[in-house]
Amino acid sequence: MTEKKGLSALEVLKNGPVIPVIVIRNPDHAVPLAQALLAGGIRVLEITLRSDAALESISRIRSEVPDALVGAGTVLSGQDLQAVAKAGGYFAISPGLTPNLLATARQESIPLIPGVASASELMLALEAGLTELKFFPAQAAGGVEMLKSFNSPFPQVTFCPTGGITLQNYKEYLSLKNVACVGGSWLVPADKIEQREWSAITRLAQEAVAGAAGTF
């Protein structure tokens, strides 16, 4: 297995209470967006592989915004994970876990944070030695009550719930002892990115960080 020389999955999840789930369609938006989020107090950035600009955006942020911890979401295959590592991503987040993805993760130097939605999927992740997981799709899969139920049989697991997380409910998730952070797209509205309203995104980040302060 390749030695993990960078951040661990736990270090990624504990670097901030909110991880923005970002879709970038123009790589020229990547650096100013990252700078806007950093100015608002958010350091960990998840760039989803839902556009052709994602990998270049990760590379630009890694090169030009060194204080940001940029990684990828929507990592669906071993090839995706390899591409993220090559682009300079610090981590890879997947909606699920497959044998191919796990095998590749064991050979790569960046941590994989896979998604689970049930106890059986969680147990498979534990068998693979993974204890930092994405709970996805959080709201549809049982939300806060499901995570509360997971805590007793799986106290060693740390979660980042994503999917249906909003400004209205994120504090409830963050109050749970087995949740390190949440992932949400409300911090990075597509229209604000397209219109380059970076100050508005900084304000959204500041609001989220300030609101999270009283939940731990």
In a domain, 54, yes or no: yes
DSSP 98-167: -HHHHHHHHHSSS-EEEEE-SHHHHHHHHHTT--EEEETTTTTTTHHHHHHHHHTT-TT-EEEEBSS--T
The candidate with the shortest Cα–Cα distance to 55, out of 18, 20, 30, is 30
> Residue 154 and residue 156: Cα distance in Å, rounded?
5
Q: Name residue, tokens 């949740």.
A: 179
Instruction: Report how far apart the first and last C-alpha atoms of the chain are (Å, whole number).
Output: 35
In a domain, 97, yes or no: yes
- In Å, how far are 46, 78, 131, 192 from 203, measured between CA atoms? 18, 36, 33, 12
> Residue 22 and residue 205: Cα distance in Å, rounded?
13
> Residue 22 and residue 203: Cα distance in Å, rounded?
16
In a domain, 163, yes or no: yes
In a domain, 4, yes or no: no
Indicate the number of domains in the chain.
1
Domain harbouring 57, CATH code: 3.20.20.70
Token reading at 87 = 């682009």
In a domain, 2, yes or no: no
Q: What is the pTM of this model?
A: 0.95
Task: Indicate which residues carry an active-site annotation.
Answer: 46, 134
In a domain, 132, yes or no: yes
The candidate with the shortest Cα–Cα distance to 74, out of 104, 113, 125, 128, is 113
* Contact status, residue 124 vs residue 97, Cβ threshold 8 Å: yes
In a domain, 1, yes or no: no
Could you read off the pLDDT tens digit of each residue along the chain, which spans 216 residues? 344 458 999 999 999 999 999 999 999 999 999 999 999 999 999 999 999 999 999 999 999 999 999 999 999 999 999 999 999 999 999 999 999 999 999 999 999 999 999 999 999 999 999 999 999 999 999 999 999 999 999 999 999 999 999 999 999 999 999 999 999 999 999 999 999 999 999 999 999 999 998 775
Domain residues for 62?
Answer: 9-212
In a domain, 100, yes or no: yes
